[in-house]
Chain A
């Protein structure tokens, strides 16, 4: 078969595929508000549109969050690989972390952007759902709201990140280097506080949380075929988790209640990466299964909906 014939044959397949499972005319008319609005029709429209709109909205959100998260992970891994092992201890210094290492700063900003975006998103989604519930012309209004809330989330993120950078830059100007050293001691190495040793686990918990958030975001954003294969990923993540736990047994043993582990243990890149990867994979799998189940329920709900 020549290439031209192949293309023609493939385009014919696309043509056939695009005619699979079309919307019904009533569904389209109902979506644009061109059907008489009996109470039942109105209720059905709102319900259907909520499902449709929430999916569109979730897709946009997941896309942005997952992109930011993936950029952060890739940059972090590159940074980990690029820095010689002897210098791990230097990574803890706040001033170094924020100002002297540009790669590190970018990573931090990316992480922060993803997290702030998620926070801004929650506000937007809450407003979105509330408005959708009271919208009569749900689809039209829903679309406007999607654009608006999406815009607000991005705007809030940009504002928050600008504030973040400005505050730290200003603090450096105001406090000077000496002030920064004090700030570093206060924030990073609070030996002056009578803290319980378990507080040392906070950075690791934060890393795990980041993995959970990232895993969930990626699961939301990936294609359906991957979601279907969630069980394979679950198996792979279990194996990866076992290997990484075994590999980091020394580090894990060192973190025990009642002892203050050495800083290098807490800062151990291997431990952090393993926590990030395993928590991310596990959450990805669980989220994939959950999303798949929810999509099935949504489809069942839509298909069982009787058109008026």
Chain B
């Protein structure tokens, strides 16, 4: 009995070792095609890219730590997005201070900072109008509740199907449709409530 227990323990230890050896490779294989998209998704959920990067890192840490719990690699995409959403929700609930003074938030730092990035956005794709649009849309998205924001980002920005979003959130298709409709209506109301801001970007002739 003792021998078999010892054998089982050593087998289990070998299994853990093998798993820990395999996990990085498995994680790398699974994350590679999704990496940039998930990062972009995390950034879209947050008001600034700095917070988005932080959210992404936290989600990656959690995903890597719990990878052994994922049985079916085919489900990795939904599993990973669910983790991002879960981290995002917990961060939304977390801190009063975070909302009182958004750090690096209002400037929506996706815009490359000429001081640090080494290139001048004014001469490239980052025209001032785009910066305004980015900032404005992020400010409006930040006003939505987390569920609506996630649905809008997945559907409108990430290009997911409604059925996929419903499966991800484990809710009905009609619930997602409702979130999308309400989110869009709220965005419209926010834009219309601030006409000066809404149309700060004038079309250049």
Closest to A1 in B: B203
Check A31 against B60 for contact (C-beta < 8 Å): yes
Which of A17, A35, A296 has the largest number of chain B CB atoms within 10 A? A17
Which B residues contact A (CB, under 8 angstroms)?
23-24, 27-28, 31-32, 35-36, 39-41, 43-44, 49-50, 52-54, 56-58, 60-61, 64-65, 97-98, 100-113, 115-117, 125, 130, 133-134, 136-138, 140-141, 152, 156-158, 184, 187-188, 191-192, 198-199, 203
Q: Count residues of A near B (Cβ-Cβ below 8 Å).
A: 52
Closest to B116 in A: A299
CB distance from A265 to the nearest CB of B (A): 36
Check B133 against A10 for contact (C-beta < 8 Å): yes
Contact of A3 among B32, B54, B188 (CB under 8 A): B188
When chains A and B are docked, how far (Å) is the Cα of A10 from the Cα of B145? Answer: 19
Check B188 against A18 for contact (C-beta < 8 Å): no
When chains A and B are docked, how far (Å) is the Cα of A12 from the Cα of B103? Answer: 24
User: Is A225 interfacial (CB-CB < 8 Å)?
Assistant: yes
Which residues of chain A from 110 to 151 have a CB within 8 Å of any chain B CB?
139-140, 143
When chains A and B are docked, how far (Å) is the Cα of A128 from the Cα of B96? Answer: 24
Number of A-B contacts (CB under 8 A): 158
Check A3 against B191 for contact (C-beta < 8 Å): yes
Contact of B60 among A16, A32, A67, A228 (CB under 8 A): A32
Query: 8 closest pairs, A vs B, by CB?
Result: A17-B110, A10-B137, A34-B24, A18-B43, A18-B40, A13-B133, A223-B107, A32-B64
CB distance from B59 to the nearest CB of A (A): 10
When chains A and B are docked, how far (Å) is the Cα of A23 from the Cα of B102? Answer: 23
User: Is A221 interfacial (CB-CB < 8 Å)?
Assistant: yes
Check A33 against B64 for contact (C-beta < 8 Å): yes
Closest to A299 in B: B116
- A11 in contact with B156 given A29-B28, A224-B107 (CB within 8 Å): yes
- A15 in contact with B44 given A3-B198, A6-B199 (CB within 8 Å): yes
Check B110 against A20 for contact (C-beta < 8 Å): yes
When chains A and B are docked, how far (Å) is the Cα of A241 from the Cα of B91? Answer: 41
- A23 in contact with B53 given A14-B44, A14-B141, A32-B61 (CB within 8 Å): yes
Which A residues contact B (CB, under 8 angstroms)?
1, 3-4, 6-23, 25, 28-29, 31-36, 52, 56, 59-60, 62-64, 66-67, 70, 139-140, 143, 221, 223-225, 228, 292, 295-296, 299
Known: A64-B97, A224-B104. 17 other contacts (CB 8 A): A3-B191, A3-B192, A6-B191, A7-B140, A11-B156, A15-B40, A17-B111, A18-B49, A19-B40, A25-B35, A31-B61, A33-B64, A52-B57, A63-B97, A139-B57, A223-B104, A296-B116
Check B103 against A221 for contact (C-beta < 8 Å): yes
User: What residues of B have a CB within 8 angstroms of the CB of A13 in the complex?
Assistant: 130, 133-134, 137
User: What residues of B have a CB within 8 angstroms of the CB of A31 in the complex?
Assistant: 57, 60-61
Closest to A225 in B: B107
Contact of B156 among A8, A23, A60 (CB under 8 A): A8
Check A140 against B141 for contact (C-beta < 8 Å): no
